Amino acid sequence: MDRKQRLQHRHGVLPDPELRPGDTALLVIDLQYGDAHPDHGILRRMRERGDAEIAAYYVDRLETLVIPNVRRLQDACRETGIEIIHTKIESLTADGRDRSLEHKRLNIHHPPGSIDTRFREEVAPQGDEIVLTKTCGGVFNGTNIEYVLRNLGITNLIVAGVVTSGCIEVAVRDAADRSFAVTLADDACASWSEDMEHAAIRAMSEIYAKVLSTDEIVSLVRSNRAMPAPV
């Protein structure tokens, strides 16, 4: 029995989710220049202070997996009418005095209207897709997302974006605690190292979220396109 099988044996296996229009939303977390572009924001500051090697795993995973796979998830959800919600980090003030203590300590500050607050063009919102702005790690703590999801009738969340061991894991745990059924796209998120990536995904798997690949999620989304949400 391998490690994944042992984990599933201990905690049980969550059933495959029914991802359908009406009660499902794709939550895309922080795919903006400040957090997800190698030439801006956090990654630029890491390179300037000599930590480019530390960010190499993250950048490679971001460019080869996360951005293309998130776009595939978005395309499938747009085709089938599943809601897409985007989050980004953006301070309310030029000096960032409104940020959480966590972001002040980590020196995470994307001033309002700066390039760091812009979404990566490949995965940017389209039409009237909802955008929520935060100044902390947890979207459920830093925005009114729960209120919005309840108003939309959402009970299932697909989660993707960055950082797996940070904002992603906080969102997944908080959503599960609030009785949302969560599906994590494990090849559409990124952390700072392979060990951190695997540890975070293991911690979420079959406890707080059903962990599936982008291929698996896209297949479920498209197979359920005609299924109405329960009344």
Is residue 174 within 8 Å of 143, Cβ to Cβ? Answer: no
Please give the tally of structural domains in the chain: 1
pLDDT band at residue 191 using 50, 70 and 90 as cut-offs: very high
CA atoms within 13 A of residue 117's CA, in its CB half-sphere:
17
159, part of any domain? yes
What mean pLDDT do residues 195-216 have? 96
Q: Inform me whether the pLDDT recorded for 66 exceeds 80.
A: yes
- What does the pLDDT read at residue 6? 45
134, part of any domain? yes
Helix axes 169-177, 194-204, angle to 10 degrees: 0
230, part of any domain? no
What mean pLDDT do residues 69-85 have? 98
15, part of any domain? no
Output the average pLDDT for the chain.
Answer: 92
Q: What percent of the chain has pLDDT over 70?
A: 92
pLDDT tens-digit series, residues 156-184: 999 999 999 999 999 999 999 999 999 99
What Rg value do the Cα atoms of the chain yield, rounded? 17
3, part of any domain? no
For the chain, the helix, strand and coil percentages under 3-state DSSP, each to the nearest 5: 45, 20, 35
Poorest-pLDDT segment among 17-26, 67-76, 155-164, 221-230: 221-230
The maximal CA–CA distance of the chain, rounded, in angstroms, is 55
- What does the pLDDT read at residue 12? 60
Three-state DSSP class for residue 24: strand
Which of these, 226, 160, 212, lies nearest to 17 by C-alpha position? 212
Residue 46 is part of a domain; what is its CATH number?
3.40.50.850
- What does the pLDDT read at residue 98? 95
pLDDT tens-digit series, residues 98-148: 999 999 998 899 999 999 999 999 999 999 999 999 999 999 999 999 999
pLDDT band at residue 7 using 50, 70 and 90 as cut-offs: very low
Q: Inform me whether the pLDDT recorded for 5 exceeds 90.
A: no
2, part of any domain? no
pLDDT tens-digit series, residues 41-56: 888 888 888 877 778 9
Q: Domain residues for 142?
A: 20-223
Is residue 102 within 8 Å of 96, Cβ to Cβ? Answer: no
131, part of any domain? yes
